Amino acid sequence: MKKMLFVLLLFQSSFLLSQDDENTTNKDIPIGINVIPYWDAEINPYVQINISVNAKKLYQENNAQNYLTFFTSLSKTKTEEIVDVDKIKLICPENLKPSGNTFMISQSILLASDTGDLSLNILYGIGDKISDTLNGEFSISHISKKATLAPLRFVEKQNENPLGSRPQFGEALFYGDDDILKFYTEAYQVPEDQRAYYTYQLYSLESQKAIKGFGAANRIMNSDGKKVSSILSSLKLDGLPSGHYEIRTVLNIEKMDPTLYPKQNISFYRINTNQFEEVLNKNTFKEKWLKELSKKGNLNWYVNGLYPIANGLERRQIELLSQSDNDTSIQRFLEYFWESRNLENPLDEAISYFKVLNQVEKKYSSRAVPGYATDRGRVFLQYGAPTLTEKRPFETDGYPYEIWQYNTLEASNAPYQINRLFVFANYTVAGRNYELLHSDAIGEIKNSKWRIAIQKRSYISNDIDDEGRQDPNKFGSRINNNIFFNSGGG
């Protein structure tokens, strides 16, 4: 049974669990899980677990087992006391229509909850066979008698349910024909004797400015003294340019200090296909670009090679273009991409990057995987060359591995950081396929037991807290005695 990577956020926002593609048995069936806390009329907490599945693999293989089983368990982190459990079968309907390259379905589970630190464990697999796990921790605080807003979630009508959760894998994407965006929240304990209203406004995360015409205010009616008010809102996305956006909501209460108004935010990407086509179809493509791009002969290699340095929206566009055989669209996007970074000399900027891309291809690629798609290649392209490296192609009783250290991490699509490590391991032993095993950089996979993973053929321990430091003086091994501070930490 494999452990999955989890993302942790504290209460007043939802948190997402996501698969670690390198370690999951069912990696061809992407799973997205969004967990949101709510309260009932008696102000008892519960959580809604929204499960999203891209069932393309099941449909492609005409699998007789056209469903997945999910077993969910919520417990208190400190005492491991079980709070609630549930089991569902998520069935793939026969009449499901594909959306682009996906077959998306979703379903929700409601679990009774408690306040404090909580642990969520989800076992799942195809048919009735449980083969993988997702797990994470979060916290729900007491809301006592104060007014509160629940976290926002995107919704869409599913059968007879107008508040069905929209399938989501990581940050939401509204693409092409998704012209109406609907989102839901709940207001709790709004004072009966005070006027209250709920406002929402769309902001650009690139400019941090409000988008005019994309906001509204709604009165909260609480004359009957109810403790829970459901709030469903919508935005028309017609004419909204491609970009990275955030909806910011505020619960305004008459006699409350405005600095204490309850607030919630939710972000999403928008790809306006009409705008994108306008950019791609401009008759400005220059001969010098054609000359440079003809050197490799494969335009997909150029556009996919941008993925490590692209922002979130550009990565979505690259994914769409990689499925296209329209060379003109790819050429236009490449020019557009580099002009957005260097308007005066975009081609020079591109050529400089393509040289590094070629170096990565020669150094890290294999017959099956291009250099930019390998973990070492991606890290090199995104963050540059490491400051120090320790390479151990012949580790005693362990897999070959490399440790890269960066004095500083500077990338346009990642926060600035100092003194960060990346640990890569070659589980195939032969070839150059080193997988990223651990990093202490923000946004990268973290595995405090990376030493055990490298030595798993010979390291035996029954201690679940063991991080592989028990045998620091093993003959010939440098895993606990390398050139880095604290031997790479944990």
| pLDDT tens sequence across 304-348 | 999 999 988 888 788 878 777 777 778 778 888 888 888 888 888
Burial status of residue 118 (CB atoms within 10 A of its CB: 0-12, 13-18, 19 or more): buried
Residue 84 Rama label (left phi>0; alpha psi -120 to 50; beta):
beta
Q: How far apart are CA 166 and CA 186, in angstroms?
A: 17
Residue 475, pLDDT > 50, answer no
What does the pLDDT look like over 92-147, one tens digit per residue? 776 655 554 456 788 899 999 999 999 999 998 888 888 788 888 889 988 878 89
Instruction: Inform me whether the pLDDT recorded for 398 exceeds 90.
Output: no
pLDDT at residue 263, rounded to an integer? 95
Task: Give residue 453's pLDDT.
Answer: 81
Residue with tokens 């698969």: 19
- The amino acid that residue 416 corresponds to is Y
Read off the pLDDT of residues 31-87 as tens digits, 9 standing for 90 and up: 888 899 999 888 889 999 998 887 766 665 545 567 889 999 999 999 999 999 999
Same topology, domains 1-142 and 145-271? Answer is yes
In CATH terms, the fold of domain 1-142 is Immunoglobulin-like (2.60.40)
Instruction: Take residue 169 and report the two structure tokens written for it.
Output: 């894998």
Residue 428, both tokens: 């195939």
Q: Whole-model pTM?
A: 0.66
* Domain extent listing, the chain: 1-142, 145-271, 274-373, 384-488
Mean pLDDT for the chain overall: 80
| Alpha-carbon distances, residue 47 vs 34, 110, 171, 183, 233 (angstroms) | 10, 6, 20, 17, 21
More confident: 313 or 480: 313
b/e sequence 382-408, b meaning 16+ C-beta within 10 Å: bbeebeeebebeebebbbbbbbbbbee
337 three-class SS: helix
Residue 5, pLDDT score: 33
pLDDT of residue 6: 33
Q: Residue length, the chain?
A: 490
Q: What is the pLDDT of residues 175-185, one digit of tens each?
A: 765 678 999 99
Q: So what CATH class is 145-271?
A: mainly beta
**What pLDDT digit, counting tens, does each position of 431-448 carry?**
778 999 899 898 888 888
Given pLDDT bands bounded at 50, 70 and 90, which one contains residue 9?
very low
Q: What is the mean predicted confidence (pLDDT) over 261-281? A: 76
Residue 238: the pLDDT is 81
Q: Would you give the end-to-end CA distance of the chain in angstroms?
A: 23
Distances (CA, A) of 451 to 208, 347, 483: 42, 44, 15
Residues in Cβ contact with 311 at an 8 Å cutoff, skipping those fewer than 6 apart: 244, 412, 413
Model confidence over 223-241: pLDDT tens digits? Answer: 676 889 999 999 998 888 8
109: helix, strand or coil: strand
From residue 258, give the alpha-carbon distance in Å to each of 159, 196, 253. 40, 12, 8
Burial bucket for residue 278 (CB in 10 Å: 0-12, 13-18, 19+): exposed
